[in-house]
Amino acid sequence: MIRIGLIGKTNTGKTTFFNAATLQSAKISTYPFTTKRPNTGIAQVQTLCPCRELRVKDNPVNSKCIDGWRFIPVELIDLPGLIKGAWTGKGLGNQFLNVAAQADALLHIVDASGGVDAEGRISNPGMGNPVLDICDIEEELVMWFAATIQRTLRRVAKHIAGTRATVEEAFSEELAGLKVKPEQVRKALEETDLESKSVGRWTEDDVREFGQKIRILSKPTLIIANKMDIPFADKFLGKIAEQFKGSIVVPCCSEAELALRRAEQKGFIEYLPGEEAFKVIDRSKLTKEQLWALNYVQQRVLSKWLRTGVQFALNMCVFKLLGMNSVYPVENDKELSDKRKRVLPDVFLVSPMATARDLAGQIHSDLARTMLYALDARIGVRLPADYVLRDRDIIRIVSTARRK
Sequential DSSP letters for 46-57: EEE-HHHHHT--
**Alpha-carbon span 20 to 382, nearest angstrom:** 43
Average pLDDT over residues 205-225: 96
Average pLDDT over residues 38-47: 92
Average pLDDT over residues 73-98: 70
The string of pLDDT tens digits covering residues 253-308 is 999 999 999 999 999 999 999 899 999 999 999 999 999 999 999 999 999 999 99
The answer to whether 120 and 29 have CB atoms below 8 angstroms apart is no
Closest CA to 118 of 70, 154, 83, 165: 83
Q: What is the 3-state secondary structure (H, E, C) of 60-119?
A: CCCCEEECCEEEEEEEEEECCCECCCHHHCCCCHHHHHHHHCCCCEEEEEEECCCCECCC
Strands 371-376 and 393-399 turn out to be antiparallel
Question: What pLDDT sits at residue 324?
Answer: 97
pLDDT band at 121 (very low <50, low <70, confident <90, very high): confident
More confident residue, 88 or 168: 168
Average predicted confidence (pLDDT) for the chain: 91
pLDDT exceeds 90 at position 25: no
Q: State which H helix or E strand residue 401 sits in.
A: helix 400-403
**Alpha-carbon span 234 to 148, nearest angstrom:** 38
Average pLDDT over residues 49-78: 95
Question: Which positions ≥6 away from 237 have C-beta within 8 Å?
Answer: 112, 225, 228, 249, 251
Phi, then psi, of 301 in degrees rounded to 5: -120, -65
Average pLDDT over residues 96-123: 87
Question: What pLDDT sits at residue 87?
Answer: 56
pLDDT exceeds 50 at position 8: yes
pLDDT band at 90 (very low <50, low <70, confident <90, very high): low
pLDDT exceeds 70 at position 145: yes
pLDDT band at 32 (very low <50, low <70, confident <90, very high): very low
The answer to whether 103 and 4 have CB atoms below 8 angstroms apart is yes
The string of pLDDT tens digits covering residues 348-387 is 999 999 999 999 999 998 999 999 999 999 999 999 999 9
pLDDT exceeds 90 at position 80: no
pLDDT exceeds 90 at position 99: no
**DSSP one-letter code for 339:** T
Question: Which positions ≥6 away from 325 have C-beta within 8 Å?
Answer: 349, 350, 351, 352, 354, 389, 390, 391, 392, 393
**Alpha-carbon span 304 to 159, nearest angstrom:** 57
